[in-house]
Amino acid sequence: MKTSKINYRNAKVNGLNIFYREAGPKDAPLVLLLHGYPTSSHMFRNLIPILSEQYHVIAPDLPGFGFSDKPDHQDFSYTFDNLTKHIQGFIDQLELKRFAIYVFDYGAPVGYRIAVANPEKITGIITQNGNAYLEGLSENWNPIQKYWAEPTEENRTALKMMVEEGTTKWQYFTGVADETLVAPESYTLDQHFLDQPGNVEIQLDLFKDYASNVALYPVFQQYFRDSQPALLAAWGDKDPFFLPPGAEAFKRDIPGATVKFFDTGHFALETHVNEIGEEILNFFEKLPK
């Protein structure tokens, strides 16, 4: 099987370096892959070869993550609005006219904001544990929601356990039937970046601002109802953060949505990349070219 080369590139957006992976024919339909917490475009390393045989694939690292710039949290506003502003700038700089988006975790509120602002650009949405409904939030959000309600230093400090190595591994392994399928470089690379000086404060700022995403759920849902985008929800059904009802809820606003569950946890691509890749290719066949 021939697989296309993956190029590792950088773009300067609003003064920040944005790292991205690119593969596949430039004249093929485009898919933009948006990663989540605490990872980077590295999470798509096994999916990109599957998609890039027939499609043009671009996967950036969000500011503060992976190999993109990580300005100090006192010099840069780590909010989801600002992350979106930089990804919108990235889209504009690369002159991306029409594309499908794959959104996961943090990539979902960024991707949904992009879709709301650019409905004419979106050919389809793949949401892999990328939530947009209150019923999708598990009780593991309680400590973060406490910080939203009472943004004290005590509640902020309590969330530092979320960026520790044990928690990162817990996110990768929870709900996984065969832990030997999870590549150790995945959580090791994530933890490497989390352990960089100043990164803990970046993540705590984003934990606090995640409340803005929940506040926008009605806006996202209105977009789904109005635009009726083609949507595939590919969900690890044992995700400790985002529950299956959050996947089913898409059908409420997009009756034609496809919902597929996989016997795995949050980072479903670690264990089910071939199955999810096949679902995406089938989904892409139905999209406008």
Give every strand in the sheet of 16-23, ordered side by side. 6-13, 16-23, 56-60, 30-34, 99-104, 122-128, 231-236, 258-262
10, burial (CB in 10 Å: exposed 0-12, middle 13-18, buried 19+):
middle
C-alpha 277 chain-centroid distance: 16
- Beta partners for 182? none
Q: If you ran DSSP here, which 8-state letter would residue 86 be given?
A: H
266 is catalytic: yes
Q: Which of 73, 86, 266, 272 is catalytic?
A: 266
Measuring CA to CA, how many Å separate 281 from each of 103, 116, 289?
16, 24, 13
Exposure string (b/e) for 136-164, b if CB count within 10 Å is 16 or more?
A: bbeebbeebeebbeeeeeebbeebeebbe
Question: By the 8 A CB rule, do 114 and 47 touch?
Answer: no
**Other beta carbons within 10 Å of 245:** 13
Closest CA to 148 of 237, 208, 226, 221: 208
Please state, in angstroms and rounded to a whole number, the distance separating the CA atoms of residues 171 and 169: 5
Q: Hey, which residues are catalytic here? A: 266
